[in-house]
Amino acid sequence: MAPLGPAGALPTSAEPLSRSIFRKFLLMLCSLLTSLYVFYCLAERCQTLSGPVVGLSGGGEEAGAPGRGVLAGGPRELAVWPAAAQRKRLLQLQQWRRRRPPARRDNGEEAAWEEESAGLAGGPGGSGAGSSVAEAPQGTLALLLDEGSKQLPQAIIIGVKKGGTRALLEFLRVHPDVRAVGAEPHFFDRSYDKGLAWYRDLMPRTLDGQITMEKTPSYFVTREAPARISAMCKDTKLIVVVRDPVTRAISDYTQTLSKRPDIPTFESLTFKNRTTGLIDTSWSAIQIGIYAKHLEHWLRHFPIRQMLFVSGERLISDPAGELGRVQDFLGLKRIITDKHFYFNKTKGFPCLKKAEGSSRPHCLGKTKGRTHPEIDREVVRRLREFYRPFNLKFYQMTGHDFGWDG
């Protein structure tokens, strides 16, 4: 027997059936529209989030020649550098989701991941807040995609410790065609037995045309590293950030001192015999700075044209200039220019107006740019004397006078 209608009348059997189908159809349509709307909102939100840093803050004026323009985040950025910027943004979002814990950190070494979320001493916009990849959202459109693949690095910043390697990597990551692993992998010195598959798995995903990079400053002084990197790929591009070896040694010492305040003075560690003035070259802080000696090992496996030497001093005084050379060396468009930097007076160093994956200003963390202890002037003079012949040899080998012997 057919059920009674609302008024108690007996309806025709066709009427309730079509009404219920219609109602179901309406319900399905509504949920479809709602899902589409939610999906659209998420996608919109994803696009308005801080994306890859290719931009200027404060007006986002475009500068430079076509193809070399300084780009501002948002629509203008996408208009000028659409594919790469969008690709990178999507990959970054995927990466945030997949982010792995930092590599093991030995005493005195930087924590790259801390670095990335470290606070700022106040940016040009006065935000005073640090950029942090941890602020990135999870679960957006990009997460539904599985784009890109992990590649072994085509370029590596191999040194030198305390040269300014973190600054260079952080600045380079602003480029839409550079993707880099944040922490130092230490594959070619400590984890070589884990194999290339393990190493590749540490890398971020890249799309065609993007360069994969990493930095591990200890490679430069690791005897096995040149042969191992060459065995991975003899075309790997190598970047070395070098700094006055005396200042570098003091910086190295300052780092150790910050971890172990009870170590002997710099002066006492420098000499084997203070009276004779004999330098202790077995102390790593001194040894690392004999650049010419370390470079000889690399030149047995790589032609000099495959190596770029970045001045650590100029990276501070003219970051855009050094970044120009690096972009040329890597075959990248000169996207990173002086428009990307500002000098942060509190930090005392150049900082990024926008870091990768953020729309906020970004200075390196507090482990970069430490105040050095006062060192006896006579010890500094003796060290300068010690390094001079090695420096001159290094200038000859690289064809570049770094000006440390003024």
204, 281 Cβ separation under 8 angstroms: no
Q: Does 166 bind ligand PPS (CB under 6 A)?
A: yes
CB of 207 to ligand PPS, least distance (A): 28
Q: Does 251 bind ligand PPS (CB under 6 A)?
A: yes
Instruction: Give the x/- contact pattern for ligand PPS in 302-331, rule: CB under 6 A.
Output: -------------xx---------------
400, 284 Cβ separation under 8 angstroms: no
Phi/psi-derived region of residue 367, left when phi > 0, alpha when psi is between -120 and 50, beta in every other case: alpha
Instruction: Tell me which amino acid residue 200 is.
Output: R
Beta strand 341-344 pairing with 307-311: unpaired
Q: Does 162 bind ligand PPS (CB under 6 A)?
A: yes
C-alpha to C-alpha distance for 363 and 327, rounded to whole angstroms? 21
Return the residue of 123, 289, 350, 361 that touches ligand PPS, per CB under 6 A.
Answer: 350
Nearer to ligand PPS, 88 or 340 (CB): 340
Q: Does 369 bind ligand PPS (CB under 6 A)?
A: yes
Q: Which of 88, 150, 161, 162 is catalytic?
A: 162
CB of 373 to ligand PPS, least distance (A): 11
CB of 334 to ligand PPS, least distance (A): 19
Gyration radius of the chain over CA positions: 28
Return the residue of 77, 110, 177, 244 that touches ligand PPS, per CB under 6 A.
Answer: 110
Instruction: Tell me which amino acid residue 277 is.
Output: G
Number of residues forming the site for ligand PPS (CB under 6 A): 19
Nearer to ligand PPS, 74 or 369 (CB): 369
Return the residue of 51, 164, 357, 361 that touches ligand PPS, per CB under 6 A.
Answer: 164
Nearer to ligand PPS, 132 or 254 (CB): 254
Closest CA to 236 of 175, 298, 165, 328: 298
Q: Does 370 bind ligand PPS (CB under 6 A)?
A: yes
Nearer to ligand PPS, 73 or 365 (CB): 365
Is 200 marked within a binding site?
A: no
Q: Does 364 bind ligand PPS (CB under 6 A)?
A: yes
First to last CA, the chain: 106
Overall residue count recorded for the chain in this entry: 406
Q: Does 354 bind ligand PPS (CB under 6 A)?
A: no
Tell me, yes or no, if 162 is annotated catalytic: yes
Q: Does 163 bind ligand PPS (CB under 6 A)?
A: yes
Q: Which active-site residues does the annotation give?
A: 162
By the criterion CB under 6 A, which residues form the site for ligand PPS? 110, 161-167, 217, 251, 254, 315-316, 349-350, 364, 368-370
Q: Binding site: which residues?
A: 162-166, 243, 251, 368-372
